[in-house]
A and B are shown apart, each in its own frame.
Chain A
Amino acid sequence: MTLIDRTKDFLDHAGQIARFAGRLFSLSIKPPYEIKEFLAQCYFIGYKSLPLVGLTGFIMGLVLTMQLRPSLVYYGVQSQLPVMVGVAIVREIGPVITALIFAGKIGSSIGAELGSMKVTEQIDAMEVSGTNPYKYLVATRVVATILMLPVLTMLGDAISLFGAYIGVNINSVTSFNLFFTQIFRNLQFGDVVPAMIKTFFFGFVVGVIGCYKGYNSSKGTRGVGNSANSAVVLSSVLIFVVDLLAVQITALLGLN
């Protein structure tokens, strides 16, 4: 396959995803609303992901603190450890790591579920029963991922900071109040709000890519496997692309 063919393929693929996402906006705002299915998805996507996000967040905060400490001690600024860890977690590491974990768990799950429904004709069955499967299956899942990822990120950040507190106390003694006062005193609007806003876009990416890959799954078990796999890979890459864009936009707006 030549470079031109690959480029054409890439653009064709990108166009299809954009069209798929575009349908979402037009259908989501039209009644009837699939409230019951939406709430079920919020429970599965949000609540069921919390233990994994919490555990990885806790370990991330703990490890980050333990890794940073020797360098700060070397330069004699170990007192700044809570501030550094806090800013790093809230601004960047928390949202991105949570989104990647989320893509791994939810992106693959949505890709496999819809892919399996596609190959067993369940989506066709929904369609012939007069139900719009795009509205019922896709819109509910994408809206749930958009709303749940920011919530998970906030909780993940909090648990991660708690992990950092434990990490600080492994080698020294710092009170809970002092540790968190130091962090919150140094966190600014530009650290928190842009980081939270980009998580909505991360959630959108995970939901749309997972649904797109599942909805367009090819026949057979390999097709379902590929859908789940490519949903994770593509949404993980796009999370970094969105992150890069978010950083540039934040810098342009002078929020850095």
Chain B
Amino acid sequence: MRSGAAKTATKENNDPVITIENLCKGFGDNKVLQGFNLRLNKQENLVVLGRSGSGKSVLIKCIIGLLTPDSGDITVFGDHVSELDHEALDRLRTKIGFLFQSNALYDSMTIRENLEFPLRRHWFEISQEDVDDMVMEALENVSLQHTVDMMPAELSGGMAKRVALARTMILKPDIILYDEPTTGLDPVTAKEIENLIVKLQKKYKTSSIIISHDMTCVKNTSDRVVLLLDGKCYADGTFDELKNSTDEHIGQFFE
């Protein structure tokens, strides 16, 4: 179960959609990722577990191209992210959804406009009728159709998270990156978000990387769990495998 031992295959499909090799990223003297390796298989929910400040969010921001790695290679659908020009990166980003920890809803726009925004920018030929249908379908997935004309400031934390998830899903991405989706939510709302993640993954057959240190979320959403420690992949296995591990560092997360 030690680093590099990717031994779990919980899905039938083992095609990698994301491959990360020797990823290094630092901020000044703070070396956050130090030779991190990862493989995300098709239609797999992979949870990256780690302590606060261990570089989990940095990892997914490198995958989507928001941060540039110091060294190492990230391949998404066969494309090397660091070699893509701006237009190619934008095209790749339409296949990847990103759910921000802070939700990052555009607060000057209504919920409808928030959801329309990515559609309008990529599907130029789409009719208003189709846009309306897609917006309502996305909101229906998260049971928030009635919020369509509200402003983000009028939503509760849980509702804002669900709307953000609807916006993430609206372009029907193949991969979704979740940055601590249940942080700051009460247990009931957190459970709703966890169920939504699993439901949407099954419905749209997406592959996901979920950043979390909420063990309930890890248990409920993961097919496979990777433990990020000291900038490296320390352990890799199913939730139960890690839970039953006798390793001191792994055990700290399951106490």
Contacts and interface: CB of A to CB of B under 8 A. Distances in A.
A128 B106 contact: no
B64 interface: yes
A128 B64 contact: yes
Most B Cβ at <10 Å: residue of A121, A125, A128, A130:
A128
Contacts of A127: 66, 93
Contacts of B107: 120, 122
A48 to B, nearest CB: 14
A12 interface: no
Interface residues of B, number: 23
A129 B66 CA distance: 11
A16 interface: no
A124 interface: yes
Contacts of A132: 86, 90
Interface residues of A, number: 15
Contacts of A131: 90, 117-118, 121
Interface string B99-135: 0101011111000000001100110100000000000
Contacts of B104: 120-122, 124-125
Contacts of B100: 121, 124-125
B106 A130 contact: no
B53 to A, nearest CB: 15
Interface string A108-135: 0000010001001110111111111000
Contacts of B121: 129-131
B93 A125 contact: no
Contacts of A121: 100, 102, 104
Ordered nearest first, which 8 A-B pairs have the shortest CB separation?
A125-B104, A121-B104, A130-B90, A129-B118, A130-B93, A128-B98, A131-B121, A130-B94
B217 interface: no
Contacts of A125: 98, 100, 104-106
